[in-house]
Amino acid sequence: MSVLNQLKDYRVVKVSLPQLAGSKLSLDAVAKTTTSPQFEVTFLPDQLHPELLDPEEFCLVTFDVAGETKSIKAKVVSAEEEAKLLLEMVESFAYIQKRGYFRVDADLSVSYWTIDDEHPSAKSVQTPVNISGGGLRLPVSEEIKAGTRLGLEIVIDSPQPAVVECVGEVVANYDDKGGRQLALTFVDIEDEDQDAIIAYCLAEQRKQLRLKVKLLGGTVS
């Protein structure tokens, strides 16, 4: 089956665009097959600047399907509209995700506590978190040493309600927009709980994309 069959309906993609300056510009977009091997990619307004693209280099379009990352190497055929490119596939390849997961910002109820404390006390996160199937980034009020293991309770409301209890290990502390952020990787999590998080991320990604596509005048099924 051609990878372009996966784009018969609008799908979320990441596009790496070669610039005349020699750099790469990575943008979120939606893609849909027109007439194989060509497909169109639509961007948000004011993001795409066709005059800055290097026509001698190839674009790379990537998206996730059932645990696989699909990649399409493509050349630019035309830029008929300000926010749209017509691309032609040159080659494609796929690989199964082993470590990386796409991340989404989400309004989830999250509580955490230090496992090694004699009398652990859970703290609740009141602001949005960033989550993927492999880990979590959340705002905290205090620095927590890298390597510390935290118990986590994550309440998921869609596509199926679930309460995920797992263990995360702190990998980094850093400041972001004036607040402290804590990055954790999941080190002890049941397969079904990880699947619930991945399903949530997929649903949230599509929800966010629908809003984007509405701005572009398209539809996502």
Within the chain, all domains assigned CATH 2.30.110.10 are found at 3-96
pLDDT band, very low/low/confident/very high, at 109 (cuts 50, 70, 90):
very high
205 backbone dihedrals φ, ψ, rounded to 5°:
-60, -45
pLDDT at 221 over 50: no
pLDDT in tens, 22-34: 888 888 888 999 9
Q: How far apart are CA 73 and CA 180, in angstroms?
A: 39
Q: What pTM was estimated for this model as a whole?
A: 0.54
User: With respect to CATH, is domain 3-96 assigned 2.30.110.10?
Assistant: yes
104-208 has which CATH code?
Answer: 2.40.10.220
Percent residues over pLDDT 90 in the chain: 41
Give a three-class secondary structure readout of 108-159.
CEEEEEECCCCCCCCEEECCCEEECCCEEEEEECCCCCCCCEEEEEEEECCC
Q: What is the pLDDT of residue 98?
A: 46
Residue showing tokens 């849909």: 32
> Taking the CA atoms of the chain, what radius of gyration do you get in angstroms?
20
Where in the chain are all domains bearing CATH 2.40.10.220? 104-208
The residue with greater pLDDT, 103 or 210, is 103
What token pair was written down for 20?
């005349």
> What is each CA distance from 12 to 45, 98, 109, 191, 215, in whole angstroms?
16, 20, 26, 25, 14
Please state the rounded mean pLDDT for residues 63-73: 78
